[in-house]
Structure 1
Amino acid sequence: MKPLALFGGTFDPVHLGHLSVAWEAAELLDAEVRLLPAHVPPHKPPPLADAEQRVAMLHAALQKQDRLAVDTRELRRSGPSYTYDTLCELRAELGARPLVLLLGVDAFAGLPSWHRWRELFEVAHLGVLSRPGVEPELPHTLWAEIEARRTGDVAELHARPAGRVIELAVTPLEISATRIRELLAAGRDPRYLLPCGLFEDPALLAPYRKA
């Protein structure tokens, strides 16, 4: 079975940096990738666009391809979007199908601050999206937890449902959602930072533009 990989975030708004690394991860893992918008992210301020607006932007961004999809389950839950709860819900649905949580290297380094972080490995693999040739700086507690779980072989992730950690060298695009929001608020047009589908309907970017 092909793995199902999850790439979470606020996507406020979704931009080409998000889509680029999600697409590369799908290729490297030979996996289906779902973008998972958070309802109330525990580690970030609330998003500027509401849930319905962010989902509309994601659907517009993902037109005319079938490798990336949207999963809105966290938006249907109240309270903070704890990744462990989401993975447990998916594990109950997927049975033994491999499940991979995709994390940027900075988020991965902060994993020990997450809710029930050690238990994440019981329900999913972790795919760490890193720059080619750059070794992440990780806290000792995290190294101790992942040392025996690390692999460079994608086949290991296909062969078991959870428990491995793999580093995926992707091509990062230095695009900031904060900067995009600033540009839109100033009346600018960040044409080549956002997927073209977001420009087809002026209402999609309306949450970021000043009246």
Structure 2
Amino acid sequence: MRIGILGGTFDPIHLGHINPALDVKQQLNLDQVWLMPNHIPPHKNTTMVSSFHRLEMVKLVCQHYPEFQLCDIEINRDTTSYSVTTLTLLTQEYPQHEFFFIMGMDSFIQLPLWYQWQSLFSLCHIALCQRPGWAMDAHSEMAKELLFRQATINDANQSHQTKHGKIFSVNSQLIDISSTDIRQRLQQHADTQSLLHPSTRDYIEQHQLYR
């Protein structure tokens, strides 16, 4: 199977996560997208709500979207969630699958700061979603990687292609908002209807999160 992987703190999960994941699945003709909440993310100091609540919100989203499946490999780990460690474990456990690691341009630009980042290309492809306001320096290290590894959507459907190492640029319905912005809106009791799935809004209200 061809599996997209979307990791994040999901604090909370919002349409800025959901819409690009659906676009990636459709454009790259994937079988599923696995939503993978982090337990201890290496690039953030903490999360605002517990792993339990973040996991439950992702579960609810998966119940409403048959395209999604929960992947709890990181949130059940007591150590820092390094993507290369996770992808190594997933490729060992599911050698039959072809993995597409979904990330935005903001994360891709910062990839050289990630732990053993170059090893990711020996484990998966990258599905790269543009994010409003983010541009890449044409002379940067990641611009060179993109030029070297970039593949077309048609390439993704060729069975003879390698199972890792390519970068696929995806046109996506990106929302220029972050979980931080959404938490601020929730604290201020501002409208989040266009940003959160109804099940997420109901869960947050029920448990009085981010107040």
Check if 1:47 corresponds to 2:47.
yes
Moved over 6 A (4+): none
Aligned counterpart, 1:178 = 180
Distance 1:7 1:79 in 2: 19
Distance 2:77 2:147 in 1: 34
Q: Specify the code of the residue in structure 2 equivalent to 1:47.
A: T
Aligned counterpart, 2:141 = 141
Unaligned runs of 5+ in 1: none
Aligned counterpart, 2:57 = 57
Provide the secondary structure at the position in 1 that maps to 2:7: strand
Mark the CA change 1:39 to 1:202 in structure 2 (over 3 Å): closer, same or farther.
closer
Provide the secondary structure at the position in 2 that maps to 1:6: strand
Per-residue Cα deviation, 1:85-105 (whole angstroms, up to 9, x for no partner): 000000001214211111100
Distance 1:158 1:69 in 2: 27
Aligned counterpart, 1:129 = 129
8 Å contact from structure 1 (residues 38, 81) kept in 2? yes
Q: Specify the code of the residue in structure 2 equivalent to 1:128.
A: L
Aligned counterpart, 1:206 = 208
Provide the secondary structure at the position in 1 that maps to 2:100: strand
Aligned counterpart, 1:115 = 115
Check if 1:163 corresponds to 2:165.
yes
8 Å contact from structure 1 (residues 3, 157) kept in 2? no
Mark the CA change 1:151 to 1:3 in structure 2 (over 3 Å): closer, same or farther.
same
Provide the secondary structure at the position in 1 that maps to 2:184: helix
Aligned counterpart, 1:27 = 26
Distance 2:190 2:149 in 1: 46
Q: Specify the code of the residue in structure 2 equivalent to 1:170.
A: S
Aligned counterpart, 1:82 = 82
* CA shift for structure 1 position 139: 5.7
8 Å contact from structure 2 (residues 98, 163) kept in 1? yes
Aligned counterpart, 2:71 = 71
Check if 1:100 corresponds to 2:83.
no
Aligned counterpart, 1:7 = 6
Q: Specify the code of the residue in structure 1 equivalent to 2:169.
A: E
Q: Specify the code of the residue in structure 2 equivalent to 1:188.
A: A
Provide the secondary structure at the position in 1 that maps to 2:108: helix
Distance 1:200 1:187 in 2: 14
Unaligned runs of 5+ in 2: none
8 Å contact from structure 2 (residues 5, 33) kept in 1? yes
Mark the CA change 1:188 to 1:147 in structure 2 (over 3 Å): closer, same or farther.
closer
Q: Aligned pair count?
A: 207
Q: Is the deviation greater in 71-80 or in 154-163?
A: 154-163
8 Å contact from structure 1 (residues 63, 197) kept in 2? no
* CA shift for structure 1 position 202: 5.3
Distance 1:119 1:21 in 2: 24
Per-residue Cα deviation, 1:98-147 (whole angstroms, up to 9, x for no partner): 11111100100111111001111011111111269x97436632334443
* CA shift for structure 1 position 45: 2.7
**Identity percentage over the alignment?**
29
Q: TM-score, normalised by structure 1?
A: 0.88
Mark the CA change 1:176 to 1:194 in structure 2 (over 3 Å): closer, same or farther.
same
Provide the secondary structure at the position in 1 that maps to 2:141: helix
